[in-house]
Chain A
């Protein structure tokens, strides 16, 4: 069971847009961290993904296990949201 979803994005990143659209379509609530508006949270995204790229999606399950998906990658994201 999913407890929390956070998506790190930037304004013009098409793949971020796709992740958000996917979650919206599935009625899954998420917090968005827009790095254009909150540049001080860039390091957080880098630590999670190990890279300098967005989107980074952090899925926290009810048992508090955390899973990170980099990019618009449905084959990794969908099983985490099931």
Chain B
């Protein structure tokens, strides 16, 4: 079953009425404001034969309701309830399908622990989005992120892991120690849970960043780099990701301005690789430099404003790739009793157990993790063994 989507706008009273009705009935849904983004409005119009009707509500079975009364909505939701997953208790639910998760699944499914993985985006996680992984043992020439992700997925599936596209929204501990997992596709009950949701790219919150998303502002070089063949671009950041992605983008862009807030903090190996592009003039490093705003012609980015030593300067570029660090994917735990650290990573004990009984965490999302694939995989294996022990003891 899929998520319920409500297309609406803040000024629309019927949208408020429908949302209130869904809220009061504890029905989870995704709200899309048609005024927030042209593409959302276009998406809504494509569902309504180009008629401007809100709320437009797309139900889990694909049924589309336009401006439904509460009664019509209630009737449709009755159908919704009748197809909700029967609450069979699953041994283990894993949230996220990155390297940590897939490793745990290889172990647990080999031992006949029924395991379901929920993934909201890409199987393989951040590792799949990385062009080349050079330091993961066993691949002497390195391996592309996509290939590693593919291999991990196949290996986990060989032993029976089930992967479903689904976003987890909330976890609650029940009085019998089972865990209730609220997802876009309904509610599931599990004996044990592993949170392996990793991290996502941080935004920089400057003028133009949101407005020009995908029209000159990007967070994924392997996805969008090809659009900048023979163009001039900027990369923001000075850590491993920024430098690695700059090197990748040299395949396309003729000139790359690397904007670093303080100094380059990437590993020596990456810095050495970068140096050859600096020497050839393809990469220009701007140290102690902040990006102030991203500007364009309303359609596409055409320049940025940067600031160095309190002097502002315009730099003509066709695009900006932003890699200024990673933020933990833990928003869905905000009102749960699972304890997070100051930076919102999940706290665990030596057994990778969180503050909620039977809920474990592994990989980049865990407070104190070393943010590497090899360690995510190691933590995945450790978590599997601890989870097996937990399931045997309850």
Contact = CB atoms under 8 A, between A and B. Distances in A.
Contacts of A16: 223
Contacts of A60: none
A18 B214 CA distance: 19
Contact of B43 (A35, A42, A76): A76
A48 B43 CA distance: 13
Interface residues of A, number: 29
Nearest to B223: A13
Contacts of B215: 50-52
A28 interface: no
Interface string B218-236: 1010111111110000000
Interface stretch (B65-73, B116-124, B270-278, B329-337): B116-124
A50 B39 CA distance: 9
Interface in A27-66: 35-36, 39, 42, 46, 49-54
B226 A42 contact: yes
B39 A10 contact: no
Contact of B3 (A10, A46, A51, A75): A75
A53 B39 contact: no
B38 interface: yes
Contacts of A46: 227
Contacts of A76: 43
Contacts of A82: 62
Given A14-B128, A15-B121, A70-B214, A52 B165 contact: no
B347 to A, nearest CB: 30
Interface SS of B by simple majority: mixed
A12 B262 CA distance: 31
Contacts of A78: 2, 62
Given A50-B38, A70-B39, A75-B3, A14 B222 contact: yes
A3 interface: no
A21 B342 CA distance: 38
A15 B124 CA distance: 11
B223 A54 contact: yes
A10 B2 CA distance: 28
Contact of B223 (A14, A49, A50, A68): A14
A42 B319 CA distance: 15
Given A15-B121, A72-B121, A74-B2, A79 B223 contact: no
Given A18-B122, A52-B319, 14 more contacts: A10-B225, A12-B145, A13-B220, A14-B149, A15-B223, A36-B226, A42-B226, A50-B214, A52-B215, A52-B227, A52-B228, A53-B224, A54-B226, A72-B121
19 contacts: A10-B223, A10-B226, A12-B222, A13-B223, A15-B223, A17-B146, A35-B227, A36-B226, A46-B227, A49-B214, A50-B214, A52-B215, A52-B227, A52-B300, A53-B224, A70-B214, A75-B30, A75-B58, A82-B62
